[in-house]
Amino acid sequence: MKKAIRRMLDTIENEVHYTRSLIGRDALDPRVMAAMGRVPRDHFVPPNLRPLAFDNGPLPIGQGQTISQPYIVALMTDLLQLEPEHVVLEIGTGSGYQTAVLAELARKVYTIEVIRELGEASQEHLRALDYTNIEYRIGNGYAGWPEHAPYDGIIVTAAASHIPPALVEQLSPGGRLVIPVGLPYMHQELILVEKDAEGNTHSRDILGVAFVPLREGQDTQGDTMNLH
């Protein structure tokens, strides 16, 4: 493993340790950490920011959007408790980095990005790295992707004002939704929603976070398109 990635993993481990009382554990699933160690984050950031790719911070990826901080990517992935046969939905492909981490752990990843330029660029990067278990869609993910539901895990990587009901509906029994909820650019809470075997949901606040806003409503601007 590259030294820089090893350093990034150490930083994530430290931050998990510092936040243990909030997140309720002292270490993340070793499978998640191994997946973080396999995905080359430098492939997902703009070329001029590559020297910073393994720092534990968010970075701009164009269009006013950001690639999330590695610690947050690891934590959100861990909260999904993915198993190799799982099917996952991601809202907010962005750089595609989180998508790659999910694709390392799940059988299939469906990912939706509302900004075409970002969706197309991330698809190119993920294909170049030989990920074949991802389906891409350009459009508004607020209403999920009902055609492939239910999902064992749903992850939203932009901040919503509330939990979108369609996403809860598209969770399978035993499924988990991880989503930041709060005001744009203000305090947001990372929330874990679990659906039990009877279809009842329980939600839990995990910790305060800062994400770019989720575009809400169901407008697709006539731009929804599946890419295969």
Indicate the residue among 36 and 67 with the shorter CB distance to ligand SAH: 67
**Which residues are catalytic, by number?**
68
141 lines the binding site for ligand SAH (CB under 6 A): yes
Using CB under 6 A as the criterion, what x/- string covers residues 1-40 for binding ligand SAH?
----------------------------------------
123 binds ligand SAH (CB under 6 A): no
Residue 133: alpha-carbon gap to chain centroid: 16
For 34-51, b where at least 16 C-beta lie within 10 A, e where not — what string?
ebbbebbbbbbbeeeeee
CA 11 to each of CA 4, 95, 132: distance values in angstroms, whole numbers, following the listed order: 11, 21, 30
Half-sphere exposure of 43 (CA within 13 A, CB side): 20
- Give the H/E segment covering residue 76: helix 70-80
What minimum distance in Å lies between the beta carbon of 61 and ligand SAH?
A: 6
Q: Which stretch binds ligand SAH (CB under 6 A): 107-115, 171-179, 182-190, 201-209?
A: 107-115
Residue whose tokens read 């694709």: 103
Q: Which residues make up the interface to ligand SAH (CB under 6 A)?
A: 61, 65-68, 91-92, 94-95, 97-98, 112-115, 118, 140-142, 157-158, 212, 214-215
